[in-house]
Structure 1
Amino acid sequence: MNEHLEQTESSWKTGKRLYQYAVKCKGTIILALMMLSISVGADLIGPYIGKNMIDNHIMGIESPWVETKDTKDAVHYQGSTYKREAYVEDGEWTGSEVAIQQVGTTFLFLNQPIEFDGKRSYKDGQLVITSGEKRATYEAQKLSGAQIMAFYQPEISRIMQLLALYFGIMVVAFFFQYGQSYYLQKAANRIIQTMRKDVFAQIQRLPIRYFDNLPAGKVVARITNDTEAIRELYVRVLANFFSSTVNIIGIIIALFLLNVKLGMVTLIILPLLVGWTLLFRKFATKYNRVIRARISDINAMINESINGMNIIQAFKREKETTEEFEKLNTEHYVYQSKMQKLNSLLNGNLVGALRVITLTLFIWYFGGMAASGESVVSLGVLYAMVNYLNRLFHPISGIVNQFANFEQAMVAGERVFALLDEEGIDVEDQRKSRFKGHVEFDHVSFSYKEGEKVLRDIQFEASQGETIALVGHTGSGKSSIMNLLFRFYDYQEGAIRIDGIELKDIPHQTLREHMGIVLQDPYLFTGTILSNITLDDPKISREVAEKALRDVGADRVLAHLEHGFDEPVVEKGSTLSSGQRQLISFARALAFNPAILILDEATSSIDTETESLIQEAMEVLKKGRTTFIIAHRLSTIKSADQILVLDKGKIVERGNHDELMELKGKYYQMYELQIGKLAG
């Protein structure tokens, strides 16, 4: 019970937010729905035109006829002129009333009107009509084919007019149907464009901590698959629900106008439809949640497998990876099958059951009337009723068949809005003059998980223009210090200050505007070498970017490329060597001219020749800025002003290279081990 209430509440909240997105395009949506209403209304006029054509014109030949002198719409028969009573105007009626009756395929002319209608039979020039115990006999003359066509002649022009009217209405219906489809899709595309923009903007607002436990593939699924499912809600589900609702209401009104009792019978369908909907949603929401989750898991695994394909193949993990993928794929298939069974059981059978129930009641009612000899409906009314009853099940089927898409959209909406509701960091336009670069860590402690400290009581100062090196074994806390300095994470204890200002008091974007970073594994974006330097920042001109590349020696390493600095770069720069990628990353940092520079093991994966180029460029790069270097190659930090040795989240040694070598502690041991002179 509680689960059902939570599901209902969640669906209500999701629906409300989807409505809020729709409001942004309300003008287009309202226009589309108005055009849809006109299209549906025009389409519903068709059976009424058919009824009118049958009763008033095709079967109208059996209506009362009178003798007249007027020749318009009149028929000449046996020396007299006859005209349908419906077409006679005042003063035209000059003779007696006559009748035309049909028995099978035979048409008969009677010199008198009939008293009542019922079962007809014709033999030897006499027409016999019986209704229950009543019986009447009339003298009748059989009409030839030409005479029948003569009596039909006044109706042909009217039938053609009705056909033209019907055709015109269908053209109008087609025009408005096209218009509603175009504008509804236009609105849906605009809504999804806005939603995707919001989701992508939200991703960039989220703290790094959020992505620690959420694979990239799952995030991609939220932006692409889930928003596409929501798009179906606006394009198909909304249009189908609205048009079907208008259709059902219009058909029920039409049936009430034709026959009140039949209209009452069709109202039974509505509570059945509501009950069936609630039953469907009870299971569909649960299944769709699992389906959407497995799609995200599959996307995440595919993304991970592609990125790590060299490792998978190198370590012969293809079989295990395939089995892991197949497990996710099988679970997705199982729940898709459950959803398909639910659709087949409830959706298809629902429409079939309602159709049988309604038509059975219809036959029972009108068949009973005919059997009892009571007055029955005309052929035109019967045609309209059957037509409307058949039409009634198309919109019902349309609604029912969209239940699955509706549930998918609601579940997808929950997932998208859950991402949008994550607490993010607002982008601020606040600008601050360039930092001097004085950095102070004041008894800082930090943990990624509560109760598991990775930094303990970190305290040091870095003056403007100094180079600070951080060394230590893996897991000692070097990268965590840089994460705090960049505010990728916030510390729990102590304080970090830049130029005397508490780090937490500086907006993230303002802080990072004056900081640069070069990672161990540099990340390059799809574009060109030059665009990876400027990152499309208008403040960095081509000249500045090219100078930065020359300063780090990239002009020598990249000289062989066909397009030079305009050489295309594919995803992650996979066509470039690690040294080339690192030089581009260095040039990027130099072009942005940061006050504080962080080199996160930037030379650990570079060959000796390229490292010498970078070492030369680093001397230029470090001038006028405070530099933090995380290094495994201790030979690259011998000139650092201050070296901090970390162990298990604490600073255990500090000083310059010579001071630490004299101390003969951890730094000395690491240095001697690297150069191969560790004393036995």
Structure 2
Amino acid sequence: MANIHEEEQLEKSYDGRLMRRLLGYAKPFKGMIFLSILLLLVITVADLARPLLIQTAIDDHMNVVGAKFVPSQNGEEINLEKSYRYRDLLLVRETDLTAEQRAQAGDRPRYHIEEPSSGQYVMVHSGTGTAIPMSTDEINAFKDKEVNALTRIGLIYLVLIVSSAVLNYIQTIILQRTGQRIIYNIRQQLFTHLQRLSISFFDKNPVGRLVTRVMNDTEALNEMYSNMMVTLFKDVFILLGIVVIMFNKSVELALISLVCIPLVVITSQIYRYYARSAFRDTRVKLARINATLAENIAGMRIIQIFRQEKRMHGEFDEINQAYFRASWRELMTFAVFRPSMEFFSALALAILIWYGGGKVLDSTLQIGVLYMFITYIQQFFQPINDLSEKYNILQSAMASSERLFQLLDTHDTIPDPAAPKGLAGVKGRVEFKNVWFAYDGENWVLRDVSFTIESGETVAFVGATGAGKSSILSLISRFYDIQKGEILIDGVNIKDVRQEDLRRFIGVVLQDVFLFTGTVRDNIRLANSAITDETIDRSIRYVNADSFIEKLPGKLNEQVLERGAGFSAGERQLLAFARALAFDPAILVLDEATSNIDTETESLIQDALVKLTHGRTTIVVAHRLSTIQHADKIIVLHKGRVRETGNHQELLAQGGMYYNLYQLQYKEAFQPA
């Protein structure tokens, strides 16, 4: 698999292939997503209705547009089309009588309602000066009609606000829960996939990189699912709704209001170009700074021992400066774009007020309509700003999904057989038949290796570094697959057995013991409920681990820190022996398991080995020949081939490679036979 810090390869801001795969994870939740979109549509309608309500209140009731009034004298119905209320004075700017009345008058008669010095309201014809008295009840009825209408509008407005708040809460809960469930499924799929990959994959990929994939990149996708994918519909709904309403009310004002849109489009395209470049550069620098930081923390012991603090500080400062510059460039890009949108919004608002205000003064535009357009213009530019942020989220999602799918598409796995054979009642006979193995290409680590380990035997592998000893142990557990030959357990080819079934009968103690956070008891049991407390107690006594466990404040319930910090190397090895023994494997593998143990602990291990190896096949790799002298068979490897086989005395008598290794280790005490 290629390096999966592949931000540099992201050349497109949007990749339809990746998006289709991302939407595939949302498909099981399409019902909830559709409900969220439907709620957003209702919320958008409620938000867009509020300026319309205020416009109606101003023009239809505060200015009494279209109100009906019947004068008391002759019962004629007058349509008060446009009027303005100032304190207790209502001026009727224009009236519309019947066609017969207009014909009699010869022109459009004008009326106004005023309060003369006598205190009585009258309706006065502006042309003839005829005054029609109005009773107090008529005036109050006229006022009450408008007040009641305003009250209804106010209640409707309140209902819209409350409903919008409640629906927003419900929609947010639904959307966030759906997004978290999608991310949960992706993270589970990633972790499950990682567990299926072969050990060779982890040899080539640092742990920090994989943790970043599972945690950071999935979190970037969470932003897309929770804050972009569905809320994008709201932005579109708002923009379309505002445009439709404005053109429906006044095409002229709508065109004036949207005069700045071409500038917005041009600026957005420029922003997209520079933002995409800045975003990719920032993510590359971030990946480098994370890798450097992880490496320095992991190697802090070496840095301090060799006094490399100053040099590493300089290297980190250089990478940190590069990240700072990239981040600053990204921030500056956004810092220019956001004020630009604010400027265009203010410019559009200024043009609208200048043009619309003149229309209001000319009595050709109602003031409520102007207010509505001003409100919609202010609302119109907010989704545009939101879309720019969603573009950043999309960029991050595309980069993260590319790396995640690279990981998920990695097929560096060891396949299980289609028709697996069982391994019930394993006795522990191990046989290698003409095995050839290489980690890479034809750089052979093992060359035509053949040997047989009988059930219950203790067999040790010795040889120089790189001879292939540890590789043999890895192949028995099928951590890697061989290129040629066969590996048999009880006469069954391990390729014909499920890996889970195979490893159930193999216990491994490695040189570098890994302890998980939790208690000592948890580290021995490893969540296997079949291992009882009695089994654990017996295991720790067998390997003499009780000598230090009993001294711990919490004994078996003592908390273990990360990687077993606080325990000595020998104590971690003893716990590993207890763990292997508790699982009672038919085949016990010890890979340099005693190399980090002091002399005192080694004596405890030697005593435990007799009990550990009793009744089970034991395979040992050791450089310290003192730990394998009592092995039933010793196999000497050199450059991937079996060179010598026999027990300790037989190999010494041959005077070959084993003899030379023994002489090197015990040069002073060695006496020829």
TM-score range, shorter chain: 0.7 to 0.9
Q: Which deviations, in whole Å up to 9, do the C-alpha atoms of 1:76-97 show, x marking residues without a partner?
A: xxxx6xxxxxxxxxxxx71474
Q: Structure 1 pair 336/653, CA: closer, same or farther in 2 (3 Å)? A: same
Which residue number corresponds to residue 234 of structure 1? 225
Which residue number corresponds to residue 39 of structure 1? 43
Contact 1:465 1:627 in 2 (8 A): yes
2:446 to 442, 449, 455: 455
Q: How does 1:50-89 map to 2 (within 5 A)?
A: 50-60=54-64, 65-68=69-72
Task: Name which of structure 1's ranges 331-340 and 177-186 shifts more when overlaid on structure 2.
Answer: 331-340
Which residue number corresponds to residue 435 of structure 1? 426
Q: How does 1:263-342 map to 2 (within 5 A)?
A: 263=254, 280-342=271-333
SS of the aligned residue for 1:188 comes to: helix
Which residue number corresponds to residue 26 of structure 1? 30
Which residue number corresponds to residue 513 of structure 1? 504
Q: How does 1:138-537 map to 2 (within 5 A)?
A: 139=129, 152-263=143-254, 280-346=271-337, 348-349=339-340, 351-352=341-342, 354-355=344-345, 358-359=348-349, 362=352, 376-423=364-411, 425=413, 432-537=423-528
Task: Name which of structure 1's ranges 22-31 and 396-405 shifts more when overlaid on structure 2.
Answer: 22-31
Which residue number corresponds to residue 566 of structure 1? 557
Q: How does 1:573-612 map to 2 (within 5 A)?
A: 573-612=564-603
Q: Which deviations, in whole Å up to 9, do the C-alpha atoms of 1:492-528 show, x marking residues without a partner?
A: 2222222222232222222111111101111111111
Contact 1:258 1:385 in 2 (8 A): no
Letter paired with 2:26: A
Give, in whole Å, the separation in 2 of the partners of 1:566 and 1:270. Answer: 68
Contact 2:634 2:645 in 1 (8 A): yes
Which residue number corresponds to residue 657 of structure 1? 648
What percent identity do the matched residue pairs reach? 36
Give, in whole Å, the separation in 1 of the partners of 2:16 and 2:303. Answer: 45
SS of the aligned residue for 2:49 comes to: helix
Give, in whole Å, the separation in 2 of the partners of 1:297 and 1:538. Answer: 43
TM-score between both structures, scaled by the size of structure 1: 0.84
Q: Which deviations, in whole Å up to 9, do the C-alpha atoms of 1:394-436 show, x marking residues without a partner?
A: 1121112221122112211211222122115489797631322
Contact 1:513 1:594 in 2 (8 A): yes
Which residue number corresponds to residue 661 of structure 2? 670
Give, in whole Å, the separation in 2 of the partners of 1:628 and 1:112. Answer: 107
Give, in whole Å, the separation in 1 of the partners of 2:547 and 2:8. Answer: 67
Give, in whole Å, the separation in 1 of the partners of 2:91 and 2:338. Answer: 54
1:94 paired with 2:84, answer no
Q: Structure 1 pair 102/600, CA: closer, same or farther in 2 (3 Å)? A: closer
Task: Name which of structure 1's ranges 395-404 and 520-529 shifts more when overlaid on structure 2.
Answer: 395-404
- Which 5+ residue runs of structure 1 have no aligned equivalent? 69-79, 81-92, 126-135
Q: How does 1:608-623 map to 2 (within 5 A)?
A: 608-623=599-614
SS of the aligned residue for 2:39 comes to: helix
Contact 1:39 1:177 in 2 (8 A): yes
Which residue number corresponds to residue 52 of structure 2? 48
Letter paired with 2:502: L
Q: Structure 1 pair 315/57, CA: closer, same or farther in 2 (3 Å)? A: same
Q: Structure 1 pair 147/333, CA: closer, same or farther in 2 (3 Å)? A: farther
Give, in whole Å, the separation in 2 of the partners of 1:425 and 1:206. Answer: 5
Letter paired with 2:364: V
Give, in whole Å, the separation in 1 of the partners of 2:266 and 2:653. Answer: 84
Computed over aligned residues only, the root mean square deviation of the Cα atoms, in angstroms, reads: 3.7
Contact 1:217 1:301 in 2 (8 A): no
Contact 1:370 1:376 in 2 (8 A): yes
Give, in whole Å, the separation in 1 of the partners of 2:391 and 2:277. Answer: 13
Q: Structure 1 pair 474/258, CA: closer, same or farther in 2 (3 Å)? A: same
Contact 2:84 2:90 in 1 (8 A): yes
SS of the aligned residue for 2:488 comes to: strand
Q: Structure 1 pair 5/550, CA: closer, same or farther in 2 (3 Å)? A: closer
Q: How many angstroms does 1:272 deviate by? A: 7.6
Paired residue total: 638
Q: Structure 1 pair 380/667, CA: closer, same or farther in 2 (3 Å)? A: same
